[in-house]
Amino acid sequence: MAENSLLSSKPTTPVGRLAPSPTGAQHVGNARTYLLAWLSIRSRGGRIILRIEDIDSPRVRVGAAEQAVDDLRWLGLDWDEGPDIGGPNGPYVQTERVELYRVALARLRCDERVYPCTCTRSDIESAASAPHIEHEGPIYPGTCAGRAAADAASLGDRAFAWRLRTTEVPREYTDLVAGTQRVNVKQQLGDFVVGKMDGSPAYQLAVVCDDHAMGITEVLRGDDLLPSAFRQIELFEVFGWIPPTFAHVPLVVGPDCRRLAKRHGDTRLATLRKEGVSADALLGLLAHSCGLRPTQAAVSAKDLLTGFSLGQLNPSPFVFDSRLLSPK
């Protein structure tokens, strides 16, 4: 008994991750999220894993992963494990981890948790009627849900994707930043794609397998992925794994209040660096935007560690304007 209580009272070291997708250059918005993910973990003495999320192959750009690593280093963020330094939970590049995802998908098939869906995007658009969460696309109406996993064999050469049979229960979780969230996954998000017909994974499956295998205890990312937390919690539950805690932080938007994108000008970190903006000047601005500093005076990532808490975070999106970084 005594031993048990000792074990259960042992504090677990927080483990977080930086998970860039090398589908393009990292910009000011990504930098703000990485800074917060890093501060949240490092301020509690935790460990950080760098993972490259490159399974979305048509969108992956040559050299973007290396560039993301350079950008993170330039910002003064560091990590304990990653593709550049190795570590016990490697490999750290998703395309090198496909076997893990394949096994997980096979398990979902054997347990009848997935079914082959042959619907095209326009099939789903025309069949879906329920209102859906903004940016999320139409809710899958369940057209193919009557199929069993084994029915995939009789589809001939018809293209299909593996969809998870979601549950119809109201779910609730407390987001460290966004507060209590409630969703009925089946009704409000719908059955979602976890893999392609060739057995390769979709984002939701890869992320859950990796976060579990790498022992991630906290996921901090942009709040555009908030609805995905429910999908991922659902998957963690199906596998019998413990989900991490989630923190979804407000995004950086342009002066038109829309998510920072190309139309807002060149906010790539590599460009700012070339223009002579220092990392500490950018971090000063980002820290100020988060409510961590009273002014935008230059500051290093390390200097922001003392006293950091997610509770200090300004809950509004940050409106970025490149003039904020111009030399005065």
Give the active site residues: 262
User: Using CB distances below 5 to 8 A depending on partner kind, what does residue 202 bind out of Zn ion, ligand GLU, none?
Assistant: none
User: Using CB distances below 5 to 8 A depending on partner kind, what does residue 117 bind out of Zn ion, ligand GLU, none?
Assistant: Zn ion
User: Using CB distances below 5 to 8 A depending on partner kind, what does residue 119 bind out of Zn ion, ligand GLU, none?
Assistant: Zn ion
Question: Distances in Å between the alpha carbon of 162 and those of 159, 221, 265?
Answer: 10, 26, 38
- Considering only 14, 15, 16, 19, the residue that binds ligand GLU (CB under 6 A) is 19
Q: Is 143 in the site for Zn ion (CB under 5 A)?
A: yes
Binding-site size, ligand GLU (CB under 6 A): 7
Q: Is 21 in the site for ligand GLU (CB under 6 A)?
A: yes
Supply the minimum distance, in Å, between the C-beta of residue 106 and ligand GLU.
23
User: Using CB distances below 5 to 8 A depending on partner kind, what does residue 20 bind out of Zn ion, ligand GLU, none?
Assistant: ligand GLU
DSSP 175-229: ETTTEEEEEEIIIII-S-EEEETTSPBPHHHHHHHHHHHTT--EEEEEGGGHHHH
State the Cα–Cα distance between residues 47 and 40, nearest whole angstrom.
Answer: 10
Binding mask 25-64 for ligand GLU (x = CB under 6 A): ----------------------------x-----------
Our CB check for ligand GLU shows the closer of 40 and 115 to be 40
Token pair recorded at residue 266: 């060149």
Binding mask 184-213 for ligand GLU (x = CB under 6 A): -----------------------x------
- Considering only 147, 221, 268, 288, the residue that binds ligand GLU (CB under 6 A) is 221
- Considering only 35, 48, 50, 119, the residue that binds Zn ion (CB under 5 A) is 119
**Angle at Cα 108 formed by Cα 201 and Cα 16, nearest 5°?**
55
Q: Residue 71: name the closest of 137, 119, 118, 18 by CA.
A: 18
Our CB check for Zn ion shows the closer of 117 and 249 to be 117
How large is the greatest C-alpha to C-alpha distance in the chain, in angstroms?
67
Q: Is 117 in the site for Zn ion (CB under 5 A)?
A: yes
Q: Quick check: 107 and 99 in contact, CB under 8 A?
A: no
Q: Buried b vs exposed e over 215-252: b needs ≥16 C-beta within 10 Å?
A: ebbbbbbbbebbbbbbbbbbbbebbeeebbebbbbbbb
Q: Residue 173: name the closest of 271, 244, 100 by CA.
A: 244
Piece in contact with ligand GLU (CB under 6 A), picked from 17-25, 137-145, 172-180, 181-189: 17-25
E strand or H helix that includes residue 286: helix 279-290
- Residue 235: how many CA atoms within 13 Å on its side-chain side? 31
- Considering only 144, 206, 214, 247, the residue that binds Zn ion (CB under 5 A) is 144
The residues binding Zn ion (CB under 5 A) are: 117, 119, 143-144
The residues binding ligand GLU (CB under 6 A) are: 19-21, 53, 207, 221, 225
